[in-house]
Structure 1
Amino acid sequence: MPSQFLPISYLPPKSSPSTEMMFKPLIYDDSSTTLFASSRFDDDHHSVKPLLSRASSYSGSVTTTKPPNGGLTGWYQKRRRRSNSDNNLSAFPDDGANGNDGHQTIGQEVSHAAAETFLLTRLGLKLLSYLGVGYRWITRFMALGCYAFLLMPGFIQVGYYYFFSPHVRRSIVYGDQPRNRLDLYLPKNSNGPKPVVAFVTGGAWIIGYKAWGSLLGQQLSDRDIIVACIDYRNFPQGSISDMVKDASSGISYICNHIAEYGGDPDRIYLMGQSAGAHIAACALVEQVVKESGEGDSVSWSSSQINAYFGLSGGYNLLSLVDHFHDRGLYRSIFLSIMEGEESLRQFSPELVVQNPNLRHIAARLPSIILFHGTADYSIPSDASKSFAETLQRLGAKAKVILYEGKTHTDLFLQDPMRGGKDEMFEDIVSVVLGDDQEVIAESVNRRRLVPEFMLKLAHWVSPF
């Protein structure tokens, strides 16, 4: 049942058109928004201070005069690359490529599970080696242990689905780099080409892994949507430019090969969560820059992406460095991940789109829809609001949907494990299946994976 809107006052910046802001307890919606805008940073650009308003959905659009086409300067063309070292992990066997139908023996399944467990263990040890062992991290890891224990019933069920469902094709090779693998979650029926969601998982740029998208993949595939979860190199195996390159390669594979798996190449949606939302946004903006003739050759087109979904992401790194430092992702580590302080602007989509020399590429960007919880302490919801405002101010199509009282993990884990109707999940489905109201209206009996009292405890102990 839709919630009622309660108007609240909002004062837009003087430089932007008036913006209507409405408050809604759970979800905010406005169909009149528009996203797009690619631009270059000004040297005297200042990072935007986060707003403290617990606002709902707001949207707007502005028309701007396109400046003459301008080339990129050295900072965009000189990509700092962190070379692969002995940290590179060996590639896992391909379950879905090379003609395999995805069915394996029990021995193969156990072997694959052991290999992936080994990978996750190495990722965890790498994370510990970089974060160190101090009071702050001891308490965080204790909280993480409690959090994982409370959600363990759900993790076990999702893990069983991930390893043993005949509708999951794991570790399909999409590139020649370590971790260039993706998982496909296929609907049970094969009637006609299906819409596709290409998903880039989060993980603080350090512990991201494709299996983190299992719950989302299971949910969306139950609604006749193919989900492709893209894996990518983490730090220190790779730095941010490697992550963006991997994500772009994965998107390219999906755009060019998804029809082989029953997907519709004309209905592809890009989605990222947390750090994955940042990486996916960087890949999308960079692709548009390439298509404008300002970069390398392209293997996929931004026109193939119908919309971008950003869940709990950060898009202006300059405004988030101090916040991450206070949360335990220390400045020295973060700058190493991002290839130095001088690269923060280059890998901040919110700042990139303000480059006047790139404003002519705005029309190439798809619709942007940003989801965020107002109680998110890992990445404040102001990050999504600021990015949406910037896009709107530049005449772009953008929309932000805020969920009152939801944390960084509520939207992605706890809420889906409750079963029944999930607000954010339904928002995504309504966009992807927008032309098929009959399918949208179908009631999917999503069962509860974790008792409610354990979910509430997990909400309170979550270190994220």
Structure 2
Amino acid sequence: MQSEIVPRGDGSSGEGSSASPGSPEETPFLRRVPSESRRRRVVSEPTLSSLSSPFAFESNSRRRSFRRDVGHAAAETFLLTRLTLILLRYLGVGYRWITRFLALACYAILLMPGFIQVGYHYFCSSQVRRSVVYGEQPRNRLDLYLPTNTDQLKPVVAFVTGGAWIIGYKAWGALLGKQLAERGIIVACIDYRNFPQGTISDMVNDASQGISFVCSKAADYGGDPNRIYLVGQSAGAHIAACTLLDQALKESGEGENATWSVSQIKVYFGISGGYNLLKLVDHFHSRGLYRSIFLSVMEGEESLRRYSPEVVVQDPYVRHAASLLPPIILFHGTSDYSIPCDASETFAEALRNAGVEAKLVLYKGKTHTDLFIQDPLRGGKDELLEDIISVIHAGDTVALAEDAVARPTRRLVPEFMIQLARKISPF
């Protein structure tokens, strides 16, 4: 059904690998998961010696967990350094990239008080399960943010983070994950291979496998398998939309086996996304994401149409696939210069013309980072957060009653630092 544009209030503003022994092509993914679970159970069972010393097992478990975290961090740091050097060979080191890097550094320093607090929660909270394995490829990990109240099954959000297809990382969703978990929603932040570790097809495959894991394992973590929502932000919104359409095409008659179904997703939320790459390639080039590297990410100019969800849904041959899509809600700031808001406007229109239930929510004066970073860090009422929660909790009288008396989120960064960071943001 068609829906109106809803303007919001003024703002204060891993390297791809081929099949080999042990690869997913040789050993089915779903067959490997139980063995992983068994390994975890063996580690967590107390021995006779630990029973005689109540604190021994807990101490040993913490030491093992710390060693695992350190080892994982070291491996990812090495991988990131190597990929950065490869990426620099593509980009070169010019004036524009140097100035943007300096602006990003200043931006991060100004918001560091908030990032430190979020980072402390990410690494120290017992409600965060980091780097849960969902596949066999590099970066096939996700972070889980669990509510403290477990008296009933909770709605689940599968979140695909942004990062210009180059610097995306699951921890970028820590702030959103924390806030949604505090409101009784389980969040799974899905990591995926970035360029040059992978190209767009790898990113879509990783996201699909992560969503499959969430759909099949939601109940194991207290989630309601009948209330699963998909959220993507920026480049993650594009990847998630491509994944959703790709899955719908598979289910509409291409005959490929599917490990999850589009029908399992109740609603898709796209935040500040770009959905027509044919229109955006020149815009990205002008902002420093040069055409040559962008086309490398997207596997050549001939693939731009295939990975443009707005173009795909307009094809009359995929109308049946489009009819399988869940309701879609697109959020965008009117002052977004990284991806202009008309990217969401034209996609919403194309979806409605294809018979998809689509809604567009515009936030007046909001930039690309206001919605996802600055607004959550300033505390108080967060419009985007409340809009997402109102949809997820619709029809749940208990959750709605709790939302009505929920305390506003606390401020993490002084306002003057947020305003200054907003002015120098390179995004």
Q: Distance in 1 between matches of 2:38 and 2:124?
A: 14
1:330 counterpart = 2:303: no
Letter in 1 for 2:260: W
Please report how far the alpha carbon of residue 293 of structure 1 lies from its aligned counterpart in structure 2 after TM superposition.
1.6
Q: Distance in 2 between matches of 1:379 and 1:307?
A: 22
- Residue 11 of structure 1 is matched in structure 2 by none
**Cα distance change, pair 127–403 in 1 and its aligned pair in 2 (3 A):** farther
Say if 1:233 and 1:243, in contact at 8 Å, map to a contact too. Answer: yes
SS at match of 1:195: strand
Letter in 2 for 1:439: E
- Residue 452 of structure 1 is matched in structure 2 by 415
- Residue 84 of structure 1 is matched in structure 2 by 17
Say if 1:97 and 1:172, in contact at 8 Å, map to a contact too. Answer: no
Structure with the largest fraction of helix = 2
Mapping of residues 166-315 of structure 1, within 5 Å: 166-315=126-275
- Residue 72 of structure 1 is matched in structure 2 by none
Letter in 2 for 1:270: L
Cα RMSD (Å) of the superposition? 2.4
Q: Distance in 1 between matches of 2:6 and 2:379?
A: 28
Q: Distance in 2 between matches of 1:153 and 1:171?
A: 24
Q: Distance in 1 between matches of 2:421 and 2:189?
A: 25
Q: Deviations over 1:421-459 (max 9, x none)?
A: 100000000011111221331323411111110000011
- Residue 318 of structure 2 is matched in structure 1 by 358
Q: Distance in 1 between matches of 2:212 and 2:198?
A: 20
Q: Which residue among 378, 381, 392 is the counterpart of 1:418? A: 378
Structure 2: tracts of 5 or more residues without a match:
19-35, 45-57
Q: Distance in 2 between matches of 1:295 and 1:122?
A: 39
- Residue 388 of structure 2 is matched in structure 1 by 428
Please report how far the alpha carbon of residue 240 of structure 1 lies from its aligned counterpart in structure 2 after TM superposition.
0.4
**Cα distance change, pair 354–421 in 1 and its aligned pair in 2 (3 A):** same
Higher relative contact order, structure no. (Cα contacts within 8 Å, ≥ 6 residues apart) = 1
Q: Distance in 2 between matches of 1:218 and 1:118?
A: 28
Q: Distance in 1 between matches of 2:388 and 2:195?
A: 30
Aligned residues: 386
Please report how far the alpha carbon of residue 238 of structure 1 lies from its aligned counterpart in structure 2 after TM superposition.
0.9
Structure 1 window deviating more from structure 2 (290-299 vs 318-327): it is 290-299
Say if 1:289 and 1:295, in contact at 8 Å, map to a contact too. Answer: no
Say if 1:144 and 1:463, in contact at 8 Å, map to a contact too. Answer: yes
Please report how far the alpha carbon of residue 22 of structure 1 lies from its aligned counterpart in structure 2 after TM superposition.
6.2
**Cα distance change, pair 21–364 in 1 and its aligned pair in 2 (3 A):** closer
Q: Distance in 2 between matches of 1:445 and 1:23?
A: 22
1:463 counterpart = 2:396: no
Say if 1:433 and 1:439, in contact at 8 Å, map to a contact too. Answer: no
Say if 1:277 and 1:313, in contact at 8 Å, map to a contact too. Answer: yes
- Residue 9 of structure 2 is matched in structure 1 by 25
Please report how far the alpha carbon of residue 362 of structure 1 lies from its aligned counterpart in structure 2 after TM superposition.
2.8
Say if 1:179 and 1:232, in contact at 8 Å, map to a contact too. Answer: yes
Letter in 2 for 1:331: R
Q: Distance in 1 between matches of 2:4 and 2:128?
A: 43
Q: Deviations over 1:377-401 (max 9, x none)?
A: 1111110001001111222211111
TM-score, normalised with respect to structure 1: 0.79
Q: Distance in 2 between matches of 1:247 and 1:22?
A: 29
**Cα distance change, pair 350–332 in 1 and its aligned pair in 2 (3 A):** same
Please report how far the alpha carbon of residue 112 of structure 1 lies from its aligned counterpart in structure 2 after TM superposition.
4.3
Letter in 2 for 1:416: P
Q: Distance in 2 between matches of 1:179 and 1:151?
A: 27
Q: Which residue among 91, 95, 105 is the counterpart of 1:131? A: 91
Letter in 2 for 1:25: G
Q: Structure 1 vs Structure 2: percent identity of aligned residues? A: 68
Say if 1:418 and 1:450, in contact at 8 Å, map to a contact too. Answer: yes
**Cα distance change, pair 139–265 in 1 and its aligned pair in 2 (3 A):** same
Q: Which residue among 300, 303, 306 is the counterpart of 1:343? A: 303
SS at match of 2:151: coil
Q: Deviations over 1:245-298 (max 9, x none)?
A: 000000000000111011111000001111100000000001011111224110
Q: Distance in 2 between matches of 1:272 and 1:96?
A: 32
Q: Deviations over 1:153-176 (max 9, x none)?
A: 111111111111100001111111
Please report how far the alpha carbon of residue 131 of structure 1 lies from its aligned counterpart in structure 2 after TM superposition.
1.9
1:370 counterpart = 2:330: yes
Letter in 1 for 2:413: V
**Cα distance change, pair 120–455 in 1 and its aligned pair in 2 (3 A):** farther
